[in-house]
Structure 1
C-alpha cells in the first residue's frame, strides 16, 4: 500500500471514529475509547508521513485519483515532500492532543458535544494537506472550518463562546470565498482544477498579483494575519484546551500550507515586489500580536495573541524567501524557507505545550485569569516545569528550539544587502527591527505569564488548593518539552529533513548539517555564521550545576526559611504582589497610547475618607473599531434596505432572475 493510500485509510478510520462517537455519546467509557482511537490512528499516520519525508526523493510522486467529487474531475490526492512535512505537524499534534484528552476529557462537562467532532477535525486537516485539486481542497477546507466551529461551540451556553463562534464562522466563510476566487483565477477559462494542470499554466502579472492578494486574505484569515486576526483571540480560548492547542499549534499551519502551496508551487515565478507586501504584513502582525498578548490577563487569550506573533514571524520568513527566489538567490531562498518551516514545527511544539499547561491550570483551579492564580509552582511542580520550558522556548532563548528558527530568520535577513532592489534593501532591515522588538516583548510577555501564574503566593483559595493534574496530561506536556529541547540541541537533523521541501519549492537546499563537526549548524558557510546547540546546552547545564553546588557547599550548610520582606507592614496580603496589569504597565505606557488608545484614571479619596482608591484602565481595539464595526454597520444598513425584496410579486422575482441570468452570460462572454 502506498503512503498516500495509507494516510487516506487513516482519515477514513478517523471519520468512522467520529460516527462511533455519535452512537456511544452517552456511554461512560466513550471519552477513553474515542481519544484512544484518535491517538492510535494519528500515531500511525505520523509514522507513515515521517518515513515518507525522510525518504523523499527528487522524483515527484504520482497523484492518487478516486472517483469522488465532481464527475469529470474526481478527487486527486498527492503526498509530496511539502505535504509530508505538514502532515507530520498535524498528526504529531493530533496524537499528543488525543493523549492529553484521555486525562483532560474526564473533566469535560459536555463530552457528547465534543467527542464526535474531535476525530473529524483531525481528518479534515489531513484531507486539506493531501488534496491535489481545487475542489477537494476547498471541500476539505470548509469541512475543517465547520468542524472546528462546532468544537468552539462546545460550551455553547456561555454568551462569549457563542459570540466567538459566530465571528469565527463569518471570518472562515470570508476566507473560503477568497480561496474560491483564487483557485478560479488559477484554473482560468479552461476550468482545469487539478493542481498538476495549474502548475503548468502561465498567468499575467495582474492575475498573479490578484491571486497573491486573495491567498493573503483566504489563508491569512485562517492563520491570523493582521488585520484578519480578530477571530483568533476569541475562538481559541473559547474551545477546550486540547482543541485550543490543535487550533493554535496545528490548524494555523494548515493555512500556512495553503499559502505556500499556491504562492510557491502553483503560481509560478514570483515578482520581487510580492515580498514587500508579505514582509510588511508579517512584521506588523508580529508586533501587534505580542503587544496585545502583553496587555492580556486571561492566560489562554495571551497564548492566542502570541500565536499571531509567531504567524507574523513565519510570514516574514516566507516574504524573504519570495524576495530571494525572485532574484535567483536560491541558496538564500532555501535558508529563509527552511527557517519558516522550522518555525512552523517549533511553534507547534511549544504552543501546544503551553495550551496543555493552561488546560492543566484550568482543570486544577477553574481559573484563566492570571490575577487569580499565583504560587502554583508549589502545588503543581511538574506542570510548572513543563510550562517554564515552553515559556523559554517561545521566548527564543537557547538552548531550546525557538531560538534556532528565529536565529535562522535573522541569518536570512542579514543576506538582504545582496538584493538588487533598493526597496527591499530598506524594507528587510526595517522588518528585522520589528522582529527584534517582538522577540524582546515575547520574552517580557512570558516572564509575566510564568511569574504571575506560578510564582509568588496564591492570590485566591482556588490557587491555594490546586493539585497536580493526571498522568496523561503530564505525559503529553513532557513529550513536547523534550521535543523543544531536542530540536534546539540537535537542529541539524530537522534542517536536513526539511531539505526535500526546500529543494522542491525553490530548487535549492541548505548545506548538509549532520556532516558538520561537533553537530553545529551552518546556514551558509562556516566563515559567516554557525551555532552549536549541543555545546550551548552543555555549557548552560555545567555552569548552572557548578553555581548551585558552590552556593550550597560554601555559602551555607543549613537551610534557612524566613518570611518575605514586608516593607515594615506585617502580614502583607497576596494582593500586594505584581499583577499582570502592573507588570505590563511600562510597555503599555510606551506603546499603548497610540496602539490601544490606553487611558488610565485614578480616583483618590480625600484624607480621612474610608472609600478605597480606584484605578481604571481603558484599552480599545482600534482594528475592530476602525475596520469591522463599520463593515458590520454597513451590512446591517444594507440588509434593512433590501428587506423589502422578501415581499415582491412573482412577476418581479422572475424579472430579477432574468436580469441576473443576462448579467452572468455577459460576464462569461467577456471572460472567454
Structure 2
C-alpha cells in the first residue's frame, strides 16, 4: 500500500468512526473509544506523512490516485507531494494531541454526544482538503470540513452567543467557498478541466491571475482570519470546546494557508511582482490589528483567537515576501521567506494548541475564562502554569523557543528587500517589517498580561481559590507540546532541512543545509550576514539562571521567607486591589485606542461626602464590524423585508414574473453575443 492510499484509508476510518460515534455517543465508554480511535488513526497518518516528507527528495516523487467517485466524467483525484505531506503532518499531529487531550477533557463535556460524531469527521475533512488534486474534490472536502467544524462550534447551542457565532461562521464559510469556486472556475478556463495538473499546465493571463489572487485572499483568507474577513474567528473559536478550539485555531487556519499556497505558488505559475505588495500589506495590517484586539480582551479564549489573527498575518507577510522574491528571480531569498512561513505554520500549531489546551484546563478547574475572575492559579495548578508559561514565551517570539526562530527568519527575509528592483517593494517591505516588530512587542506585552493576571497574584474569586490540577491526559498533551516548542527552538536546523523538499517543489531552490553547520547553528544566507544558535542560547540561559539561583542561596539567606507584597503602606487584603486585565492594557489602549477602537473612558467621581462609589466606564468599537458587516446585515434585512411579498403572489403573477425574467435573460444574451 502506498503512502497516499494509507492516509486515505486513515481518513476513511475516521469517517467510519464519526458514523459509529453517532450511534454510541450516549454510552459511558464512548468518549474513550471515539477519542482513542481518533488518536490512533491520526498517529498512523502522522507517521506516514512524516515519512513521505522525509523521502520527498524531488518534485517528481509525488504519488497520485483517482477514485471513481464524485463527478461522473471527472472522478476524485488525490495527490501526495512534499507540500501536502508537510501540511498533513501538521493536521494529523494536531488531531493526535487534541484526541489525547480530549480523553481527559471530554469527561467534563455537558453534551458529549454533540461533539463525538463530528470530531473525527473534522480531522478527516482537513486531511481530504490537503490530498485533493482537483477543484471538485477540494471544494467538497473544504465544505465538509466547514460543516463539521460548524457543528462543533454550535455543540453548546443553548448559549445564545454560541448560536450567533455559529450562524456568522457558516455564512462566512459559505461566502468563502463561493469565492474559491469562482477562482477555480477562472483557473479551469473555457475548457472546464478541473484537475490541478491541467490548471498548472495552462497559461493564465495577468488579469486572470490577479482575479484569482483576489478571490483566494477572500476565500482562503476568510477561513484563515485575514483582516477584514476575521470577524467570525474571535466569536466561533471560543464557542467550541477547548480541544476543538485548538484544532480550529492551530490547525484549520493552516489548511486555509495550504489552499492559498497550493493555488498561488503552484497552480498559477510565476507570480507578478505586485502580488507581493498586496499580500504583504494585508499581512502586516492583520498582524497589528489582531494583537491590538487581543490586548484589549479579558476573555481568555477570545484573546487567544485574536492572537491567531496576528500569527496568520505574520505567515502572510512571509508569503508576500516569497511572492515578491520569486517574481524577481531571487530564488534563495524566496526559499528563505517561504521556509519562514512554513516554519511559523508548524510553530503556531504547537504553541496555539498548547495555549488553548491550557485555557481548557483553566476552564475545567474553575468554570471561568474571564481573566478578571482568576488569579493565583500557579499555586493550585502548577504543571498547567509551567506549560502555559512555555506557550506564552513561545508565542511572544522570545528565545530559545520556536516562535523566535520563525519570526527571526522572517526578519532575515525582510533584510533581503534592498535587492528588489521595484520601488514599491523597496518602500513597503521595511514598513511592513516595522509593523511586524510592533506586533512582536505587543504580543510580548499581551502574554505577560495573560500569564500574570491568570496565574499570578491572589485568587480574585472563590472559584479560582478552589481550583485543582487537571487530569493526566490533558497534562500529557500540554507537556508534549511544551517540549516541542523548546525542541524546535533549540534545534531549528532539523526543521529547516525537513522543509527543503517543499521549497524545492514550489520555488525551485532551498535554503542551505543547516544540520551540517557546526554547533547546530543556522545560517539563512551567509555567516557574514547573520546566524543563530538556539542550543547555545538555551545553555546560556540555563547556566546564567542556575548561577544566579546558586549565588542568591549561597550568599543570601537559605531560609525561605514568605510575606505579602508591598502595599505602599495601605494593607488592604481585598484581591480587587490587584492589576486587572483591563488596567494592564490601559496604557496601550490610550496610545492606540482612539484611532483603532474609538475608545472612550469616563470616570464618574462623586463629590466629597457622597458615599456613592466612583464609576469607570469604557466604550470601544470595532471599526470593521460596525463599518462593514453591520451595514451589510442591515441591507440584507431591509431587502428581505421588502421582497417578502414575493412568497404571497398568485399563480398568475408568478407566471408573469417568470416570463418577464426569461425575456430579460434572452435580451441580455442577444446583446452579449
What is the deviation of 1:610?
1.3
1:454 has 2:460 as partner = no
Alignment match, 1:24: 24
Relative distance call for 1:635 and 1:9 in structure 2 (3 A) is same
Alignment match, 1:579: 580
1:471 has 2:444 as partner = no
State the distance in 2 between where 1:616 and 1:571 align. 24
Alignment match, 1:34: 34
State the distance in 2 between where 1:159 and 1:178 align. 29
Relative distance call for 1:70 and 1:671 in structure 2 (3 A) is farther
Q: Is the 2:56–2:62 Cα contact (8 Å) retained in structure 1? A: no
Q: Is the 1:335–1:523 Cα contact (8 Å) retained in structure 2? A: yes
Question: What whole-Å deviation, never above 9, does each CA across 1:104-128 have from its counterpart, x for those lacking one?
Answer: 0000000010100000000100010
Alignment match, 1:371: 372
1:50 has 2:59 as partner = no
Question: What whole-Å deviation, never above 9, does each CA across 1:531-583 have from its counterpart, x for those lacking one?
Answer: 00001000000110000011011111222222222322224211100000000
Give matches, 1:167-182, under 5 Å: 167-182=168-183
Alignment match, 1:229: 230
Alignment match, 1:157: 158
What is the deviation of 1:647?
2.7
Relative distance call for 1:644 and 1:399 in structure 2 (3 A) is same
Alignment match, 1:491: 492
Relative distance call for 1:134 and 1:656 in structure 2 (3 A) is farther
Alignment match, 2:276: 275
Question: What whole-Å deviation, never above 9, does each CA across 1:413-467 have from its counterpart, x for those lacking one?
Answer: 0000000000000000000000000000000000000000000011000100100
What is the deviation of 1:606?
1.3
Question: Aligned pairs, how many?
Answer: 672
Alignment match, 1:384: 385
Alignment match, 2:296: 295
Alignment match, 2:418: 417
2:602 is paired with a residue whose SS is: strand
Give matches, 1:651-666, under 5 Å: 651-654=652-655, 656-657=657-658
What is the deviation of 1:657?
4.5
Question: What whole-Å deviation, never above 9, does each CA across 1:319-362 have from its counterpart, x for those lacking one?
Answer: 00000000000110000000000000000000000000000000
2:398 is paired with a residue whose SS is: coil
1:133 has 2:167 as partner = no
1:237 is paired with a residue whose SS is: helix
State the distance in 2 between where 1:204 and 1:625 align. 37
State the distance in 1 between where 2:314 and 2:672 align. 39
Q: Which runs of 5+ in 2 are unaligned?
A: none
What is the deviation of 1:634?
1.1
State the distance in 2 between where 1:299 and 1:382 align. 18
Alignment match, 1:621: 622
What is the deviation of 1:644?
2.3
Alignment match, 2:549: 548
Q: Is the 1:189–1:671 Cα contact (8 Å) retained in structure 2? A: no
TM-score by length of 1: 0.98
Q: Is the 1:566–1:572 Cα contact (8 Å) retained in structure 2? A: no
Question: What whole-Å deviation, never above 9, does each CA across 1:464-486 have from its counterpart, x for those lacking one?
Answer: 01000000000000000000001
State the distance in 1 between where 2:200 and 2:653 align. 45
Give matches, 1:266-665, under 5 Å: 266-654=267-655, 656-657=657-658
Question: What whole-Å deviation, never above 9, does each CA across 1:208-245 have from its counterpart, x for those lacking one?
Answer: 10010000000000000000000000000010000000
State the distance in 2 between where 1:7 and 1:594 align. 49
2:189 is paired with a residue whose SS is: helix
Relative distance call for 1:667 and 1:51 in structure 2 (3 A) is farther
What is the deviation of 1:664?
6.8
State the distance in 2 between where 1:528 and 1:663 align. 66
2:190 is paired with a residue whose SS is: helix
State the distance in 2 between where 1:524 and 1:7 align. 36
Question: What whole-Å deviation, never above 9, does each CA across 1:30-63 have from its counterpart, x for those lacking one?
Answer: 0010000000000000000000001102114242
State the distance in 1 between where 2:672 and 2:403 align. 48
Alignment match, 2:124: 123
State the distance in 2 between where 1:559 and 1:568 align. 23
Q: State which drifts further: 241-250 or 646-655.
A: 646-655
Q: Is the 2:62–2:82 Cα contact (8 Å) retained in structure 1? A: no
State the distance in 2 between where 1:3 and 1:305 align. 36
State the distance in 2 between where 1:665 and 1:200 align. 36
Q: State which drifts further: 638-647 or 540-549.
A: 638-647
Q: Is the 1:78–1:132 Cα contact (8 Å) retained in structure 2? A: yes
Relative distance call for 1:418 and 1:563 in structure 2 (3 A) is same
What is the deviation of 1:651?
4.7
State the distance in 2 between where 1:31 and 1:452 align. 33
State the distance in 2 between where 1:53 and 1:624 align. 41
What is the deviation of 1:637?
1.4
State the distance in 2 between where 1:668 and 1:523 align. 57
Q: State which drifts further: 295-304 or 660-669.
A: 660-669
Q: State which drifts further: 347-356 or 17-26.
A: 17-26
State the distance in 1 between where 2:361 and 2:393 align. 18
1:78 is paired with a residue whose SS is: strand
Q: Which runs of 5+ in 1 are unaligned?
A: none
